[in-house]
Chain A
Amino acid sequence: MAVPKVCGIETEFGIQHLGGDGNPVASSSLLVNAYVGGLARAGWDFEDEQPGNDARGFAREGALPPEVETHLVNAVLTNGARYYVDHAHPEYSTPECPDALELVRYDRAGEEILRRSMRAAAQVLPPGQRIVVYKNNSDGKGNSYGCHENYLMDRAVPFSRIARQVMAHFVTRQVFCGAGKVGTETAQAGADVPYQLSQRAEFFEEEVGLETTLKRPIVNTRDEPHADPQRYRRLHVIVGDANLCEVATFLKVGTTAFVLAMIEDEALGSPELVPANPVQAIRQVAADPSLKTTIDLTDGRRISALGVQWELLERAVKYAEDQGLGAVGGEAVGREVLRRWEEVLHGLETDPTEVAGQVDWCAKLQLIEAYRDRHGLDWDDQRLAALDLQYHDLRPERSLFQRLPTEHLVGEEAVLEAVGSPPRGTRAYFRGQCLARWASAITSANWDSLVFDLGTDPLRRVPMMDPLRGTAEHVGALLDSCATPAQLVARLSGRG
């Protein structure tokens, strides 16, 4: 049985400092600082990390002196998330979530945190200056920044199998989770494509590899499990777009959890769906909003992206029947993923405008087509590119996305609750609760440990090597029974 697909999303936001000096690192730091300044939080613990490894962002190589990095802001929030500056971007990493629906909630909470950050920054900026944040993946000038997903996997599954079997999904899932883009930015994608399904697809140049900012691979091999490395793997997925449509985020994560669980349980079935030329295929699919184009599989078949997705869905339905939904978010969420997966494929096949409330690229395309018709514009008109950017603008008064009647899965109140409180179903609960209660006694935190300063030597490191423990169920009563962090540390270790 596959391990439950604990999941998370890291989003690097685009940033613009109106009236500023054009240093995105300083602007990002100011933004994050403005928010975390008054919060209960702990510093990030780099004990088990190599921040240099996270080289991302639109700054060209060599544009930033490396010493800048060490002064960047880095905070852990009471909702269990990490909020920090990654090179030239503010980045929000959701806490570990037990299922796709919960992840939608924490992804939305991230948007709210960025909005609050913009407001807080406006308070401290000189008159005439403003920091604006976009939830997108490219600056429109050929520089892309990421929206990465993470999934918990069983270490026993050979990586080569994951890489081979997940490829078809990564190449084709953009039909429902692409965020849409006017035009192209890279030579590989060509200049004659008016609109693409995906923001990120054209930036991928390799099939499998370790890099995230250069020669980007469709399957990323970074292997920092942030958990017990004997038991777990964290699959780091860099091939997705940042979504604004809640249903798109839900499906991106939900379907991927299904595919990964099936790979883990050797239940993906046959024939194996493996694109013959994944890099070419992902661009080809991105460049065709008609969804008619077909890609070559290694077994000689030619099949459309929707065709691949129908086959995956069919296999997922069978998997659910045979093995249940325990690994993919449980009964309610698992069923909902299957239902919406079918619905969105059907809609895309019939008429993409039907799913404009669920799929970002469809929503954006509809908006842009309408504007283009009204003003008789060519596809390369700068106003269309501006409209594209404004779709992702997180300022409520500017966001084009917010004006659209897209479907919501999570209530506004639940989102606001997620800004401050952790998910209950993973170790993020322990992290967030400890920070909310005893932030001043926590000297540092990271994904798999908290370090407490109890006022006496030594410092105490509390390891959290299992993302599936430390949940409300595991530690709720324990936390409530402790009045001080010293009591907590004593009880954790069975003394007191």
Chain B
Amino acid sequence: MKIKIERPDEQAAAQIFARYLTPDLPLDPGEVERLGGGDPAKAVAAMIDATVAEMYRADEENKFLEVTYQNGDKEILYFRDFASGAMIENIVRRAKKLAIKRAIAGEGSGIRTEDLLESIRREYKENEDLPNTTNPDDWARISGKKGERIVYVRTLLADRDETRGGRSIERVGTGQYL
């Protein structure tokens, strides 16, 4: 069975954000002042605009994956190509957590735009609903933009931290040997 769900475009994404990022949430007072002139609703709208713009930017920083199709063609996919309602909900949830962390640390309260921007990156890095990159078959189900089968997927997300059972792993340079 195949269910195709349309990916939200920028406008749809903003609407979805507005469902989760509401003016009644604790917002950073400074941002409410600066972005909304004291009006939380206006501030939220500005925060959403900035977040969507960041998420939908097709540039170097937002490159997510390089897929190789069966016929050998390659294509770069960006964050926006994998945007979904669930993802947006997660981004807002992450942003709230970041704000709470900051409040506990006594570094100011309320959600800031930077929390949202930071959460985009983390969400893509850690989203477990995205298939493992080593199983192209799963990807064929998700994307396959050209109707061609994807045979290889390479993650392009920069500065990916490696961890294993709580211990971090450092990559060793191997010069002329390996």
Chain A residues engaging chain B, CB cutoff 8 angstroms:
47-50, 52-53, 158-160, 208, 210, 221-225, 229, 427, 430, 451-452, 457-466, 469-470, 474-475, 478, 489, 492-494
Contact = CB atoms under 8 A, between A and B. Distances in A.
A48 to B, nearest CB: 6
A459 B164 contact: yes
B132 A50 contact: yes
Contact of B171 (A49, A158, A461, A474): A461
In this complex, the member of B151, B154, B178 whose beta carbon has the largest number of chain A beta carbons within 10 angstroms is B178
Given A229-B154, A427-B178, A478-B177, A463 B149 contact: no
> Which of A49, A459, A474, A494 has the largest number of chain B CB atoms within 10 A?
A459
A159 to B, nearest CB: 5
Given A52-B135, A223-B68, 12 more contacts: A50-B132, A53-B135, A159-B72, A222-B151, A223-B151, A427-B178, A460-B172, A465-B178, A474-B177, A474-B178, A475-B178, A493-B173
Nearest to B72: A158
Contact of A458 (B170, B173, B177, B178): B170
B22 interface: no
A463 B171 contact: yes
A492 B172 CA distance: 7
Interface residues of B, number: 28
A492 to B, nearest CB: 5
23 contacts: A47-B164, A49-B134, A50-B132, A53-B134, A158-B71, A158-B72, A159-B70, A160-B70, A223-B152, A224-B134, A229-B152, A229-B154, A430-B178, A458-B170, A459-B169, A460-B172, A461-B162, A463-B178, A470-B177, A492-B172, A492-B177, A492-B178, A493-B175
B161 to A, nearest CB: 10
**Most A CB atoms within 10 A — which of B149, B162, B169?**
B169
Contacts of B167: 457-459
B89 interface: no
Nearest to B66: A229
B177 A469 contact: yes
B136 interface: yes
B88 to A, nearest CB: 27
B11 interface: no
B162 to A, nearest CB: 7
Interface of B: 68, 70-72, 132, 134-137, 140, 149, 151-152, 154, 162, 164, 167-178
B177 A48 contact: no
Nearest to A492: B174
Contacts of B135: 50, 52-53
- Interface secondary structure of A, over-half rule: loop
Contact of A462 (B68, B71, B154, B172): B172
Contact of B151 (A53, A221, A475): A221
A493 B168 contact: no
Given A210-B136, A461-B162, A475 B177 contact: yes
Given A159-B71, A210-B136, A461 B174 contact: no
Given A160-B71, A459-B167, A462-B178, A492 B134 contact: no
Contacts of B140: 210
A430 B151 CA distance: 29
Given A50-B134, A160-B71, A474 B176 contact: yes
A208 B172 CA distance: 38
A470 B171 CA distance: 17
Contact of A221 (B149, B169, B170, B171): B149
Given A159-B151, A229-B152, A461 B176 contact: no
Contacts of B175: 492-494
A299 to B, nearest CB: 22
Contact of B173 (A47, A459, A466, A492): A492
Given A160-B70, A469-B178, A459 B170 contact: yes
Contacts of B177: 430, 469-470, 474-475, 478, 492
Given A159-B151, A210-B137, A462 B72 contact: no
Contacts of B137: 53, 210
Contacts of A478: 177
A49 B175 CA distance: 25
A489 B172 contact: yes
